[in-house]
Chains A and B, each alone.
Chain A
Amino acid sequence: MNNATIEASNLSKSFGEKQVLRDISFGVSPGDVIGVLGKNGAGKTTLLELVLGFTAPTAGEVRVFGHQSYNLPGQTKARVGFVPQQDELLDQLSVADQLRVIASFYPRWDAEMIARLCADWSVDLKARVKAMSVGERQKLSILLAFGHSPELLILDEPVASLDPIARRQFLEQLLTLSADGQRAIVFSSHIVSDVERLANRIWILKEGRLDWQGDLDSLKESIVRLHIRGAGSELPELTIPGVLTVQREGAFATAVVRDWTPEAHQALEKSASVQIEVEPLGLEEIFVELHR
């Protein structure tokens, strides 16, 4: 048996007629911090909830720590932490009671770490959950997912309701957690800068497929903007491999391409007698270009 945290093969999920995920395969190993990006409705939540076994795939399979996710045994669940998009807190309890209730489900609970995080994040243990703001509730949801030091942490848009300071603290905590290389973190977010800062691997979902999966550096090397200058007053007809968008103006053209390689660069310069400058793109620009 290998030590993969998650293994998914040919995963598909439909809701009635609507196919949300199509034929997705991926693997997650300890040490991976995976940022899941996608437009609204791309299937991010569905993908995460399939991994957690909340729903069964229409086709394919997901295995978490070697077990089919739909039938996870208790010991495996104790190795998983989850922060849902919408919190599932008990309004009638105090923060301390809420923490105690959830802690009671786990054989291991790092009360010391939670106490420290509560202090760092200004979470009032005596506060009543129903009186908390959306951001405070989100902080508490995150604490509940951290407490048992999970080896797999899945977070569905965890920072959407947090203020910039809390977001930074949260990201720092995630970095701390991921630093030992023993655990895997999968999180979806619309805040691309956070993904860029934290993730070492990126999944980009588009129309139900994993349009990109790989490490961040490879993504940045693969999808770039080309500034092309022709020798004369007009740019000749160009056949640019892997072009996503192109804008031409006289002797100049700007193109965004994917799967760009030094070989492709040399071949294009030679065949069209043009000069090409490569501009690396930020993750947000890459995301936008992939969705044009």
Chain B
Amino acid sequence: MKAVARLVYSYFMGAPVTRAFTIVGLVLLAIDFYMLTALPQSGGTLWAAILGLIAFFTGSSLMPVMFGRLARSHSIRVLPHGRIKLLASAFITTVLVALPAGILSLAAFTSGVSVSKSLLVLAEDPKILAFVLQATELTFTSSFLLVCWLYLAMWFITSERNLAGFIKGLLVVMVAIFAPAREIRDLSVSLVWNLQQIAAIWIVFGAGFLLWPRYRAAIARRGRSRFASFGNKLGPGISGREFDLLLGTANPWLLIAAQVCPIVIATRIGYDTPSVWLYYLTIFSTVAGAIAGQAAERSRALWLRGDWSRDALFTQVERAFWRHNSYVLGSLLLLMVGIGSYAGFSVTMLAAGLPLLVLGTVLSTYLGLMITRGLRTLEALLGVGVMLSLMAVSVLVASERVDLVAVITLEVCLAVLAVVLRSVARRRWTQIDWMACRRDRALSARGA
């Protein structure tokens, strides 16, 4: 139990940034709880709750990273009950992160239906009490499910850091967005269904996680995995310029496939609300540029082997990424037009949405190229800010009464930001220090 508690504590408080997010999240949630129980309800209470929940969730973002690293480590094999404790810590963290939504929901409903804002008063009316408790349970379980999916997406993306990881992450993001949206549309959400989903996720994930070592041992005894032979079949097809191979931009088609597959699945689910599609495609546009975050680290081998100064290397790397991203972005824009006709996008929405996707890719590419000294607070905050801005614009574009002036202004602002990010990235590359940009080495710990 001590180990589990220590792990959970580390997930929230392990790094200065996550610690700050956790504390800010808890403070905001406490303030919101007070506002809900002591003051009249207003729009401010909703925003405080949303920001608090986002901050608290962000504060726990070490969980999937640490979980992934420990799960793959050799030490987990020798730690007593290591896997079970790790799994328990993940479950408890998910419960903790989902819990505030349930508590706030309970506080909101209680204060909404009871003048004295007390559950004891509600208890006198069994029907109202049942309604409030049911709403709370639904909020908690829905929140729990969403947190599960988001952790899973983060785990795939952060632990694998390759296209396979992105594909898995995008699939999970798709489920996380579309499943709740569909339930809201169909009014099909129910406590039993939520509990069934939670049970299914944790039983499958838990069993897979706990039995994985046995599976691997069995595979090793039998020779090799069928998946491995599948991977080998993919291999000889790899082609591309040597520069791109070293940089990881040789094959845009994998990323295109990674985008098309979830979208095809989403269309099979049958969801057709334009706002959700736009939101979803905007997220995809940023993923296209995310691989640029590895460029600095990978470029060391290029610098040593080519006739490029640091400045010239940036130009080459930038070109390589645009060669790669132009295919990915092009396919995404085509998909948007296709989906637009399928989901009934308005002309205004298409006209404002297409530049938004371009901006998503451009901004994320230059944010990635800016990372020349590891992911630090500035880059993390910029990343969160850019994502939130893009999301906000997508919500504005998809709203019933589109304020075109506001949308265009915001898009112009984002374009200016992209130019600024590019100039920062270029300046950083002219002074790139390959000792500082390797993710496997913490700068402060560097001695040799």
Contacts and interface: CB of A to CB of B under 8 A. Distances in A.
Interface in B398-448: 431, 433-436, 440, 443-444, 446-448
Interface stretch (B9-17, B305-313, B342-350): B305-313
B304 interface: yes
B217 interface: no
B304 A80 contact: yes
B304 A71 contact: no
Contacts of A101: 242, 245-246
B301 interface: yes
Interface stretch (A85-93, A247-255, A266-274): A85-93
Interface residues of A, number: 40
A104 B303 CA distance: 14
Interface residues of B, number: 32
A44 B434 CA distance: 16
Contacts of B307: 73-75, 77
A20 interface: yes
A49 interface: yes
Contact of B447 (A16, A41, A55, A90): A41
A124 B151 CA distance: 40
Q: Is the interface of B mostly helix, strand, loop or mixed?
A: helix
Given A15-B446, A38-B448, A105-B305, A94 B433 contact: no
A77 B311 CA distance: 16
B238 interface: yes
Contacts, number: 85
A77 B440 CA distance: 25
A26 interface: no
Q: Is the interface of A mostly helix, strand, loop or mixed?
A: mixed
Nearest to B240: A101
Contacts of B433: 54-56
Contacts of B44: none
Contacts of A56: 431, 433
B444 A16 contact: yes
B434 A54 contact: yes
Interface string B232-245: 10111010001001
B85 interface: no
Interface in A40-66: 40-46, 49, 52-56
A46 B446 contact: yes
A203 interface: no
B435 A49 contact: yes
A97 interface: yes
Contacts of A131: 228
Question: Which has the most chain B C-beta neighbours within 10 Å: A74, A92, A104?
Answer: A92
Contacts of A94: 235-236
Contacts of A38: 448
Contacts of B117: none
Contacts of B232: 128
B300 interface: yes
Interface of A: 15-16, 18, 20, 38, 40-46, 49, 52-56, 71, 73-75, 77, 80, 82, 86, 88, 90, 92-94, 97, 101-102, 104-106, 128, 130-131
6 contacts: A38-B448, A42-B447, A55-B434, A80-B304, A86-B440, A101-B245
